[in-house]
Amino acid sequence: MIELTDYSDAGWSGVDVAARSRFYCEQLERGEILFIDGARFGLPESDRAALMKLAPDSLRQKNISYAPSTGQVAGLRGAATDRNLTDALARYSAAAVRFCAGLLAPYSATWRVELASFRPVEEHDRPLSITERNDLLHIDAFPGRPTNGARILRFFTNIHPDEKRVWLTSDPIPKLAARGEFAAMMLNCVRAADSPASRALGQLMHGAARIGVALPDRSSYDRAMLRLHDNMKRDAEFQADCPKHRHEFAPGASWLVFTDTIPHAVLAGQFALEQSFFVARDSLLAPDASPLAVIERLAGRVMTKQDRTSVGLRGALERQ
């Protein structure tokens, strides 16, 4: 984990802006977590108070989501949403986007601003199904929001007034893939994503999406990553034996991480906000460190919705 020392919501201070921005982008891509203390990015006390009033039992799904493109809030029981809650989420989302755009300029021209979310429930001992559990190490892949090879960057903020948010992480996907057992898990996910049944379903969903039916249009890469997300959570041996690193984020702290490459779990904490971005492949400074690069080397072919030219499975594996 590295700490941000030369940028705040007031801007840069005394540095070569282009060089530092590229430095932070590349460090994130290679698997670092960027820590931001509360003095560099803050939330108005009135917004924090409005969010913390929410009763956890008012949720009808795992978290509350806010769509910046529409201003809609989802995940609450009942039809009405408190205006103060919506406004607080909107202000957080806008502030997070503005902060990250100034910090990570190489991405901001082409990234896709995705959902913001609010997590009001204590994570310790939270009763969820195994594939929904947050306390098991996993990489992120969204069933309803395929990336087609874009990377998932997430900005988190702990708004609890007193309690730390406790994370566990493992090594980045490229490093884990050098371990035989993890490479085998990934290869099994690739093969399942490329099975005749899976590809036929993918073609059906692609056709439906093209005629306006609201189904996620997943590439082979998206299908493999969804399987990897689930398989990592289900694999008790991986959960027990993989390298582990503990992080404690103090009240008011924020942090940035590519959650598609860093296996992560939340062990404890309540009241956290998050803003997601999909970072385009063409914007990456270290594309070799992306999970897409690892998966395509395993597959021996392009796994996104573009040119399907084979690169040769044997040759690709030999180059790892």
CA 168 to chain centre: 15
pLDDT in tens, 182-191: 999 999 999 9
Going by C-alpha positions, the residue among 296, 255, 276, 226 that lies closest to residue 107 is 276
Are the CB atoms for 154 and 276 separated by under 8 Å? Answer: yes
Average pLDDT over residues 32-38: 97
Are the CB atoms for 316 and 298 separated by under 8 Å? Answer: yes
φ/ψ region of 145 (left if φ > 0, alpha if ψ in -120 to 50, else beta) reads beta
Q: How far apart are CA 243 and CA 229, in angstroms?
A: 17
Burial group, residue 319, by CB count within 10 angstroms (0-12, 13-18, 19+): exposed
- pLDDT band of residue 207 (cuts 50, 70, 90) is low
Exposure string (b/e) for 18-40, b if CB count within 10 Å is 16 or more? eebbeebbebbbbbbbbbbbeeb
Q: Which domains does the chain have, with CATH numbers?
A: 2-174+240-318 (2.60.120)
Give the pLDDT score at 160: 96
Reported as type and span, the H/E element at residue 202 is helix 196-210
Which backbone phi and psi does 142 adopt, to 5 degrees? -105, 120
Flag whether pLDDT at 195 surpasses 80: no
